[in-house]
A and B are shown apart, each in its own frame.
Chain A
Amino acid sequence: MNTLSELRKSRESYYFLAPSVIIFLVFGLSVLVANVVLSFYSWSALTEPRFIGLDNYRRLFHDAVFRKALVNTLYYCALYVVPSLIISVLLAFVLNKKLKGMNLFRSIFYLPVITSYVIVVILWQWIYDADIGLLNSILNKIGIASVPWLLSPKLALPSLVLMSIWKNVGYTIVIFLAGFQQIDVALHEAARVEGATEWQVFRHITLPLLRPTTLFSTVMLIIWSFQMFVQPYMMTHGGPARSTTTLVYYLYETGFQYFDLGYASTMSVVMLIMVLPIIILQSKLLRAR
């Protein structure tokens, strides 16, 4: 009797779960499995799919463009993550002060975050323009010669990094502000009474207590770096000289411009294996809550 009603009750739970589980099975699990299967096939838009075993993986291993894309993505990640963290922790520290107008400033830093990448890119494409751009116009005014931002293979990727920091710093500021809110104010006051300067309090009390927040933000920033796509797609087409070809951009080019679908799937699998440790870390961080 009892088990029967319990059985009925848990069957009810499955009804509540059904919509999400179906979506998860069809658009999560099955798609993921299909992706792995596809990676063993040669398949372009015109030909029938043909099983080729590990050939795609061998090709990927020797693919100079893929290697370049991987290096670019890692380079982007290296240039992007640490400055983002430093800027946002310092700005969050300043914005956390109980002073007039702080709410307004918080909003201002959040404005680029909600603006879509497409609009940000349209804006910055012009800002970075070598001949008529806003940035060079301002630089010229203070006596600095024009810089070929997006046209130089050396500067193009760092320019994209700068733009991304500008766009996303408000997001990490909000995460750090939430982190600051979790810190016990009494600790700060105790340290001040002991005669610690504001910098000492920040360095020796606030920062160590922010470690979980910092870890979470770092993981977020790394995942974003690996997903970077709109900037090279709209601004540079991966150039000049492949200097801004990122992993996702190369994946898009292979799969949806050359319709080399099997090979693009192989790239997805390899990408997924590369970011898997980070994803596992992220879900551990969520689980720890």
Chain B
Amino acid sequence: MNRLRKMPMKNFWTYFILVLLGSTMIVPFIAMVSQSLKPGSQVLEYPFRWIPENPSMENYRMLFKQNPIMRWTLNSFIVAGGSTILQLITCSLAAYAFSRTSFPGKDILFWMMMSMLIIPSQTTLVPLFLLFSKLNLTNTYTALLLPTASSAFGIFLLKQFMEPIPKDYDEAASLDGCTRFQFYSKILLPMCKPALAVLATFNFVTQWNDFLYPLIMTQTRDMFTLQIGLSALQASGSRGEMGGMGVVMAGAVWGFIPTFILFLLLQKYLVEGVSSAGIKG
């Protein structure tokens, strides 16, 4: 009896905490949209007005007129999409070799690659920059794409997924005259679709949001990724140029939309990517 009466009260506090903290997560985004719809200097009004007095798309018009924002968005799609396609290929090939074949030096090679590729990228910026400078490749898609064409996380994730698949498949395929590459491409890869989806989503978002590397690798406005473009926009906006904060907020909303759509569609895979990195520690 006593327990039954206590239950709703306990749930009340659970929901109270969640609604309180949950709204601190959402409210800034709502405020961002609200700010982006305030024309001219209304964005500077204090105290903050939640609903714009006379909402307009003025900031968005300015944003598109003064900045090659479509080009930045396209660049981000090329870099994030290209890196993802490359990783799906290179990581699944390597994961196949590591999980289903044996060869001399397998263990050493695997752990060398794992430890090398988890070294923070910040610590190799200078030589990477010099390397691409010497090759005259800074400010190109090649420089933005190549270093992320394979990843330890991807190899690890796919290897973990491939290992439990029974070896009977390999033998049966080989008896039927399948080469190893045919087995990999026609039988193994289709079985790995869920893991490939996790890797694709996870890497796309990671590359889409990456900042420091494209910052040092791009020099002209037309090669900026969306993140670099938006940060340049923010720098000029805070100096009061180009229509100031309203336009910057409109840029933030524009940059938020693609990840938000991806989040709505593919949240399952994103969350799986995070938890598969963390499970069991």
- Seen from chain A, the residues whose Cβ lies within 8 Å of a Cβ on chain B are 9-10, 12-14, 16-17, 19-21, 23-24, 27-29, 31-32, 34-35, 38, 91, 94-95, 97, 99, 101, 105-112, 114-119, 121-127, 131-132, 134, 137-138, 140-141, 166, 170-171, 174-175, 177-179, 182, 211-217, 220, 223, 226-227, 229-230, 233-234, 248, 251-252, 255-256, 261, 264-265, 268-269, 271-272, 275, 279-280, 282-283, 285-289
Q: Is the CB of A234 within 8 A of B231?
A: yes
Q: Is the CB of B22 within 8 A of A116?
A: no
Q: Is the CB of A24 within 8 A of B28?
A: no
Nearest CB of B to A210, in Å: 9
Residue of B at shortest CB range from A263?
B126
Q: Is the interface of A mostly helix, strand, loop or mixed?
A: helix
Tally B residues with Cβ within 8 Å of A.
97
B70 is an interface residue with CB less than 8 A from chain A = no
Q: Is the CB of B122 within 8 A of A174?
A: no
Nearest CB of A to B197, in Å: 16
What is the bound-complex CA distance between A106 and B271, given in angstroms?
Answer: 10
- 8 Å CB interface, B201-223 against A: 205, 208-209, 211-212, 215-216
What is the bound-complex CA distance between A283 and B218, given in angstroms?
Answer: 32
Known: A12-B101, A13-B103, A131-B46. A178 touches B252 (CB 8 A): no
Q: Is the CB of B18 within 8 A of A105?
A: yes
B51 is an interface residue with CB less than 8 A from chain A = no
Q: Which of B130, B205, B274, B275 has the most CB of A within 10 A?
A: B274
Which residues of chain A have C-beta atoms less than 8 A from B32's C-beta?
122-123
- 8 Å CB interface, B20-75 against A: 21-22, 24-26, 28-29, 31-32, 35, 44-48
Q: Is the CB of B127 within 8 A of A31?
A: yes
Residue of B at shortest CB range from A280?
B115
Q: Is the CB of B281 within 8 A of A13?
A: no
Known: A111-B26, A177-B275. A251 touches B127 (CB 8 A): no
Q: Chain B, 254-275, contact with A by CB distance < 8 Å: what is the 0/1 string?
A: 0110011011000100110011
Nearest CB of B to A7, in Å: 9
B195 is an interface residue with CB less than 8 A from chain A = no
Which residues of chain A have C-beta atoms less than 8 A from B25's C-beta?
108-109, 111-112, 166, 170
B114 is an interface residue with CB less than 8 A from chain A = yes
Q: Is the CB of A17 within 8 A of B127?
A: no
Which residues of chain A have C-beta atoms less than 8 A from B255's C-beta?
116, 118-119
Q: Chain B, 138-182, contact with A by CB distance < 8 Å: what is the 0/1 string?
A: 000000001101100001100010000000000000000000100
Known: A19-B149, A178-B279. A118 touches B227 (CB 8 A): yes
Nearest CB of B to A123, in Å: 5
What is the bound-complex CA distance between A106 and B21, given in angstroms?
Answer: 11
What is the bound-complex CA distance between A122 and B211, given in angstroms?
Answer: 14
Q: Is the CB of A141 within 8 A of B47?
A: yes
Q: Is the CB of B104 within 8 A of A285?
A: no
The contact of B280 among A16, A38, A106, A182, by CB within 8 Å, is A182
Known: A16-B96, A226-B120, A229-B122. A99 touches B14 (CB 8 A): yes
B251 is an interface residue with CB less than 8 A from chain A = yes
Closest 8 CB pairs of A and B: A212-B281, A10-B103, A178-B275, A175-B278, A216-B281, A116-B209, A34-B127, A16-B97
Q: Is the CB of A268 within 8 A of B124?
A: yes
Known: A17-B109, A24-B150, A123-B32. A116 touches B118 (CB 8 A): no
What is the bound-complex CA distance between A181 and B21, given in angstroms?
Answer: 23
Q: Is the CB of B94 within 8 A of A16?
A: yes
Residue of A at shortest CB range from B262?
A114
Q: Is the CB of B14 within 8 A of A97?
A: yes
Which residues of chain B have C-beta atoms less than 8 A from A252's C-beta?
125, 212, 216
What is the bound-complex CA distance between A228 and B146, given in angstroms?
Answer: 24
Q: Is the CB of A13 within 8 A of B101?
A: yes
Which residues of chain A have C-beta atoms less than 8 A from B230's C-beta?
118-119, 122
Known: A119-B255, A137-B46, A251-B125. A10 touches B101 (CB 8 A): yes
Q: Is the CB of B278 within 8 A of A174?
A: yes
Which residues of chain A have C-beta atoms less than 8 A from B274's C-beta?
171, 174-175, 178
Known: A178-B279, A271-B123. A122 touches B271 (CB 8 A): no
Q: Is the CB of B125 within 8 A of A124?
A: no
Which residues of chain A have C-beta atoms less than 8 A from B216's C-beta?
252, 256
B242 is an interface residue with CB less than 8 A from chain A = no
What is the bound-complex CA distance between A34 and B134, given in angstroms?
Answer: 13
Which residues of chain A have C-beta atoms less than 8 A from B147's C-beta?
23, 27
Residue of A at shortest CB range from B216?
A256
Which residues of chain A have C-beta atoms less than 8 A from B129's C-beta?
255-256
